[in-house]
Chain A
Amino acid sequence: MSGKITRRDAILKGTVLAGFAATGVHLIKKADGQIVWEIDGAKCINSKLGELTAEACDLCTVECVVTQSAVRAVNHHSECGRCYICPAYFKVTSAVDENGLPSEKLCPRDAIERKAIGWVDPEDPANNFYDYIIDEEKCDGCGKCVMECKEPAGLGSIRLEVRHNLCVGCNRCAISTVCPNDALSQLPATAVPEPEPAESESQT
């Protein structure tokens, strides 16, 4: 037993190594380069069309192991209706102020900035276009704005997305284990669409 290898051990060792090699090759054949957690916008309760509940699902905020959730709301500007009264920005049920706008904002963290863009007619605010820019630093992915920005009031341009630079990539994503619609999955990073085309993304 003093470190000497018996014949039986040598055979066993060879068998185990061969087993490793076979398993390794089998795995490598189907392996991907890199995988990331992604939210399927068509499954996520907050962005799913036709899903209207009183409260937005905030499990992404609550469950994520990162202190300020790695899931954030993202406004896809090219799909944004640029509404005068954005239901994701204003709390449309709040009292109307002197300007005829709802007096309260929807975002509990005041993370959305609203500004008139393009050719602005100061006399006719209702006919101007507005940019709604979400401050990523403030957003914690509570999904309230996502829930509001969809048919019939909005166009569904705001969706919850995993910010890959913040996601620590847990093997067992804490959100994925509680997500009621099983919207999170690990996908090869190559399957993640490139920044530009927003149309193809909304289809998936």
Chain B
Amino acid sequence: MSPRSSRRRTLRIIYAIFLLTLLWAPAAAPQAIPYERPVEAAPQDEDIGEGYVTPEVQRPLPRSYWLEILDVILLALAMAIAVWIVLSERSRKWVLALTIACLAYFGFYREGCVCPIGSIQNVAVALTDAEYSIPIVVIAMFFLPLLVAIFFGRAFCGGVCPLGAIQELVVLKPVRVPRRLDSALGLLKYVYLGLAIWFALQPAPGHDFVICRFDPFVGFFRQTGFAHMLYIGGAFLVLGMFVGRPYCRYLCPYGGLLAWCSRLAGRGVTITPDKELDCGLCSESCPYGAIEEMRAVRKDCLYCARCFDSCPRGRPLQEAPDE
């Protein structure tokens, strides 16, 4: 007698007893079947017989690692292109095209993740918690824009960041925020940065990634999200029509880091007024109040190249004598 049939026989006996019990207790039967597990162990292919093959449990793989590396390469490439377009070509048109492309890729296609803004929190936790795993991609995402900022200013903000891009596209009739109010509000981003790091470093129950939680635009990128965040995002976009890129200038914690790094930048957007022409059209055209006394302020300049576009002299002026 094969082990299979003997096993089947035991099962049959167990079942017979089981069914008898059912008959014995008719009161319980109508509402609930007194359920007993008929098998003690999971039957394998040989128990089931007839050439049965257990279906394989699929483990769908995450996005390919190489595609994640590609994100980093694209980030670096987009920043390089932004620097080239703005500093060398001085072209508003092309930087706008770049920012739209990055909005499409990093925003809508990659759904806003992974982003350098949120990576602040991962880096903060990784630095303090030895157990925490941080992928190389996140480290690269965190450092690359900062490195670019140290040498060339906030190319990431103007060329690549999808959160910046979505606000860039809604700028309609920007008002000039009074200088004092502007710098006072600008301090908020450092407060936010501090809070974000503080929350990220909290132990389990209080631990929170507030930057990601209160990302105002990720809901648009994913076309789903918490209603209150979608409203806040919408409010930012409406405000952004009249106050240029409010999130970037006053709240973005990564913008705070970039602003600080870009103070050290040797190169960046420069306005070179000459003696004959001192029209100030560039200053008028800047929706971010980043041109002060005819000089572009590195820490505030968001690489949009509007000033070049508005300059009546256009490109030839870039070779103006450097006193």
Contact = CB atoms under 8 A, between A and B. Distances in A.
B35 interface: yes
Interface in A91-110: 92-93, 95-96, 102
Interface in B206-241: 208-209, 212-213, 222, 224-225
A137 interface: no
A71 to B, nearest CB: 12
Contacts of A83: 37-39
A78 B42 contact: yes
A129 B111 CA distance: 44
Interface in B224-264: 224-225, 261, 264
A80 interface: yes
Interface residues of A, number: 80
B318 to A, nearest CB: 12
Interface in B113-144: 113-114, 118-119, 121-123, 126-127, 130, 133-137, 139, 143
A157 B33 contact: no
A129 B212 CA distance: 48
Interface in A108-132: 117-120, 124, 126-127, 129, 131
A169 B134 contact: no
A156 B17 CA distance: 24
Contacts of A172: 118, 208-209, 212-213
A118 B88 CA distance: 72
A189 interface: yes
A53 interface: no
Contact of B39 (A5, A9, A81, A133): A81
Nearest to B272: A2
B113 A169 contact: yes
Interface in B1-51: 8, 11-12, 15, 19, 29-33, 35, 37-39, 41-44, 47-50
Interface in A129-166: 129, 131, 133, 152-155, 157, 163-166
Nearest to B48: A118
Most buried by A among B63, B127, B135: B135
B122 A30 contact: no
7 contacts: A3-B267, A24-B139, A34-B68, A82-B39, A93-B32, A119-B49, A153-B37
Contact of B150 (A16, A33, A80, A127): A16
Interface in B40-90: 41-44, 47-50, 52, 54-63, 65, 68
Given A2-B322, A157-B42, A30 B134 contact: yes
A30 B127 CA distance: 10
Contacts of A39: none
Interface of A: 1-3, 5, 9, 12-13, 16-17, 20, 23-24, 26-28, 30-36, 65-67, 74-85, 87, 92-93, 95-96, 102, 117-120, 124, 126-127, 129, 131, 133, 152-155, 157, 163-172, 177, 182, 186-189, 192-196, 198
B143 A95 contact: no
A74 B57 contact: yes
Given A16-B150, A28-B136, A118-B52, A96 B30 contact: yes
Given A16-B261, A33-B136, A168-B111, 19 more contacts: A1-B295, A3-B268, A28-B136, A30-B126, A32-B135, A34-B62, A34-B68, A78-B54, A81-B37, A82-B48, A84-B38, A93-B31, A95-B30, A96-B30, A119-B48, A126-B38, A127-B15, A171-B122, A182-B204
B185 interface: no
A12 to B, nearest CB: 6
Interface of B: 8, 11-12, 15, 19, 29-33, 35, 37-39, 41-44, 47-50, 52, 54-63, 65, 68, 111, 113-114, 118-119, 121-123, 126-127, 130, 133-137, 139, 143, 146-147, 150, 204, 208-209, 212-213, 222, 224-225, 261, 264, 266-268, 270, 295, 322-323
A152 B35 CA distance: 10
A28 B133 contact: no
B108 to A, nearest CB: 13
